[in-house]
Amino acid sequence: MSAFRCGTVALAGRPNTGKSSLLNRMVGQKLAIVSAKAQTTRHRVTGILTTDDCQYLFVDLPGYQTRHAGALNRALNRAATEGARDADVTVFVVEALRCLPADRAVLERIPVSQTVVAAVNKVDLVANQRELLPFVERLQGLRAFAAIVPVSARTGRNVPELLRVLRGHLPEAPAAYPEDQLTDRDERFFAAEILREKIFRALGEELPYRCDVQIDQFRLEGALRRIEATIWVERDSQKAILIGRAGEKLKAISSAARRDMETLYGGRVYLGTWVKVRRDWTHDARALRQLGYG
């Protein structure tokens, strides 16, 4: 058998190309939150996959943000850029048949010295697979990719091939984590992420970007996890929308989050949620630090 390899693989790309979905597919577990809205990911998550001959440390990065100005976005963009620079290999995730100026902007931020594999994602949406060839040829003109691999995070198509290619770019090294460990993040972190995913999914276009989640308490009581969370918004009007008529919106968000937490933790969860206003937190450096943005 060939030597064991271990190294980091960064997932880079413009928002909404499917980086988090691909991470989940590769590790075989839902770790990173996913929504149809751009700019869902705010915190880096390392997802770990250990096979017979390789340990992959995948780092899911925020999509490089262009849509909203402010301190939050500067922090996210810094994380996206630094994450790609530090990895052994970077996967540039691009949507099949859709390479936009925003995609090229991400690519330009990855240093030329970095090994980059392009994953052409969402090929399940391409009706005529022959269209992929000219698209791949166009991509080849953008950069000297180590490889270009069409995949579907949704169906899993070609994901084993992507893993095989990535392994070739990782250094020979022993495993950095125990083989059954899936992530470097703890249960408390995932509680906040899951709740944030439900907010993204339940609310309209703009409001999710004005919300963040803080876990105030995470306590094990026998088999029960007792979790208290604050959802921060920027204005009273946003608080009203989030809570909804007779509290129905918040109730729906909280129970969806609780169900996902119970699946992930494999045990019962009590989840208490409060909505509080903190004016303009996305522009407030101190608030951002408290919420864990570098």
Among positions 6, 9, 26, 34, the unique one binding ligand GTP when judged by CB under 6 A: 34
* 232-269 burial: b if 16+ Cβ within 10 Å, else e: bbbeeebbeebbeeeeebbeebbebbbebbeebbeeeb
> x-or-dash pattern for ligand GTP, window 103-122, by CB under 6 A?
------------------xx
Pick 63 or 225: Cβ nearer ligand GTP: 63
Interface with ligand GTP, residue 40, by CB under 6 A = yes
Instruction: Pick the piece of the chain touching ligand GTP (CB under 6 A) from 16-24, 104-112, 127-135, 237-245.
Output: 16-24
Binding positions for Mg ion, 5-24, rule CB under 5 A: 19-20
Binding positions for Mg ion, 29-58, rule CB under 5 A: 40-41
274 to each of 214, 242, 244, 279, how far by Cα in Å?
10, 10, 13, 16
Distance CA(196)–CA(32), nearest Å, equals: 11
Pick 198 or 225: Cβ nearer ligand GTP: 198
Interface with ligand GTP, residue 21, by CB under 6 A = yes
Pick 151 or 269: Cβ nearer ligand GTP: 151
Interface with ligand GTP, residue 196, by CB under 6 A = no
Paired tokens of 12: 């880079």
Which residues are paired to 271 by β-bridges? 227
Residue with tokens 């994380």: 79
Instruction: Pick the piece of the chain touching ligand GTP (CB under 6 A) from 148-156, 184-192, 219-227, 272-280.
Output: 148-156
Region label for 41, one of left (φ > 0), alpha (ψ between -120 and 50) or beta (otherwise): beta
Query: How buried is 70 (Cβ within 10 angstroms: 0-12 exposed, 13-18 middle, 19+ buried)?
Result: middle
Residue ranges that bind ligand GTP, judged by CB under 6 A: 13, 15-21, 34-36, 38-41, 62-63, 121-122, 124-125, 152-154
